[in-house]
Amino acid sequence: MHPNFARLRELYAAQPVILAPMEDVTDVVFRRLCRSLGNEIGMTEFVNVEGLLRGCRNAKRKIRLAEDDTLTAIQIYGADPERLAEAARFAEEAEPLFLDINCGCWVPKICGRGAGAGWLREPAAMVAMAKMVVSSVKIPVTVKTRIGLGPESHMPIVDLARRLEDAGVAALTIHCRTANMGHSGAADWTWAAKAREVVSIPVIVNGDVKSAEDAKRAIDTTGCAGVMVGRRAIEHPWIFREVHALLREGKTVAPPTDEERLDLCRTHLRLNVEERTEPYGVRVTRRHLSGYLSGMRGASALRQQLNTCDSLEGCLAILDTAASTRRTAA
């Protein structure tokens, strides 16, 4: 058996807080930043299997793992089982910790074509596809899905969890909304609890974990092996250290200081510009900066200045001025 199975078991035994796969977010730079703040298991954004098999540059970039990506999984999506299996073999060569199959994307152009949450229309086909992917690679394969399509009165996830376990899936992440809900409405963690009860593979609960307290509540009420955090990490990646402190040491850590917030802005900008050059590297960082500065005095003026500056040097100067103004005021 591939050593990653044992490694994954160990990681799940320690109640991991997993960084959710997020398109245009969980790239090599953001994964690194989250790791520096306590995230252990990370995931690439989802990668289209057709793009991957055609050798599309963007798809190849997405599966490229850095040396420090030792605990990173690659997520793939597609509608054709054979193509998924073929792409899984290809992605395996990048040496991810495991491969995850996206069966949860609700976006019509993906779900409507049978990929992502489209698999929930035909649970038997989803299970057969997962079995095919599992048997095509040596490393563990996991599935990330939703509780159902919506508006079923009884969600298919419980039966599906059992069948995916039988298909050889190593773990299951449940985004506790239906596909029809998209990202709106509250996630219902009780479905993760129900699914967890019927399988022996680790189940990871996902949806609306926005704080360390949420993470603790999600684990305590569902008995799941770990939690996955998505949107909150975009604006507040410190959530990883906050969850660890609470789950592992029973401690509440102080929120990041202004200095840490400004430092993270600088680091993220620098790393993104190194990776993508200017001005693109600066522009893609903006979606994070607003959240990083949240709660700081003068944050909105600072955001405005940063949002209109396309150069790294200019942004760093704005942040340096903000830092020295704070030091003087202190």
Ligand X SMILES: Cc1cc2nc3c(=O)[nH]c(=O)nc-3n(C[C@H](O)[C@H](O)[C@H](O)COP(=O)(O)O)c2cc1C
Radius of gyration from C-alpha coordinates of the chain: 20
The Cα–Cα gap between 288 and 239 comes to: 14
Instruction: Extract the tokens encoding 190.
Output: 């009780």
Find the catalytic residue in 105, 224, 265, 315: 105
Minimum gap (Å) between residue 24 Cβ and ligand X: 6
C-beta closer to ligand X: residue 144 or 303: 144
Q: Under a CB-based contact definition with an 8 Å cutoff, are residues 22 and 234 in contact?
A: yes
Least Å from the CB of residue 120 to ligand X: 13
What the block records as the tokens of 255 is 């929120």
From residue 162, how far is each of 196, 267, 293 by CA, in Å?
A: 9, 43, 43
Tokens standing for residue 140: 């563990």
In this chain, which residue has its C-beta nearest to ligand X?
230
The DSSP call for residue 92 is H
- Closer residue to ligand X in complex, CB, 4/142: 142
Q: How far is the CB of 42 from ligand X (least distance, A)?
A: 12
DSSP letters, 211-253, are SHHHHHHHHHHH--SEEEE-HHHHH-TTHHHHHHHHHHH--PP
The CB-of-181 to ligand X minimum distance in angstroms stands at 10
CB of 107 to ligand X, least distance (A): 9
Quote the CA–CA distance of 168 and 256 in Å, as a whole number. Answer: 41
Cβ contact 76:145 at 8 Å:
no
Q: 26 by DSSP, 3-state: which?
A: coil
Residues that bind ligand X in the complex, under the rule CB under 6 A: 20-23, 25, 45-46, 75, 102, 104-105, 144, 175, 206-209, 229-232
The token duo for 57 is 């540059």
We find the least distance from the C-beta atom of residue 75 to ligand X, in angstroms, to be 6
111 in active site: no
Whichever of 75 and 136 has its CB closer to ligand X, that residue is 75
Mark out the alpha helices in the chain (DSSP H runs): 3-13, 28-36, 49-54, 57-63, 81-92, 108-111, 123-136, 157-166, 190-198, 212-222, 231-235, 239-249, 258-276, 280-292, 299-307, 312-329
Q: Which is nearer to ligand X, 232 or 244 (CB)?
A: 232
**Of the two residues 156 and 207, which places its CB atom closer to ligand X in the complex?**
207
Nearer to ligand X (CB atom), residue 23 or residue 40: 23
Residues carrying an active site annotation: 105
